[in-house]
Amino acid sequence: MAIRDLTTSQARRPFQRRRKTCPFSGPNAPKIDYKDVRLLQRYVSERGKIVPSRITAVSALKQRELAQAIKRARFIGIMPYAVN
């Protein structure tokens, strides 16, 4: 974290991406709801797998909540377990 902050303060190097923040933290963040398929859809891959938080930058706490919501949505048939 600290290292990345330093690099961004210098002349912006190419291929150095800005640190992403958790999309569920901070003001007007969406509420994780298992009924909200449109929201959950962004956090599963094309195959229907849950995307790891290191790619989506969701915080650990919210990722657990999100995973729970996706699993609930799968159970009631509004999201797939697997897409072939």
Partner 1 sequence: MALYEHIFLARQDVSAQQVEELTTALTEILTNNGGKVTKNEYWGVKTLSYRIRKNRKAHYSLLNIDAPHTAVAEMERQMRINEDILRFLTIRVDELEEGPSAMMQKRDRDDRDGDRGGRPDRGDRFGGERRPRRF
Q: 3-class DSSP state for residue 63?
A: helix
Q: 3-class DSSP state for residue 44?
A: strand
Residues 6+ apart with CB under 8 A from 82: 47, 48, 49
Q: Which of 7, 19, 25, 37 binds partner 1 (CB under 8 A)?
A: 37
Decide: is 12 part of the binding site for partner 1 (CB under 8 A). no
Q: Which of 2, 14, 26, 46 binds partner 1 (CB under 8 A)?
A: 46
Q: Where does this chain bind partner 1 (CB under 8 A)?
A: 20, 23, 30, 33-39, 42-43, 45-47, 51-52, 54-57, 72, 74-81
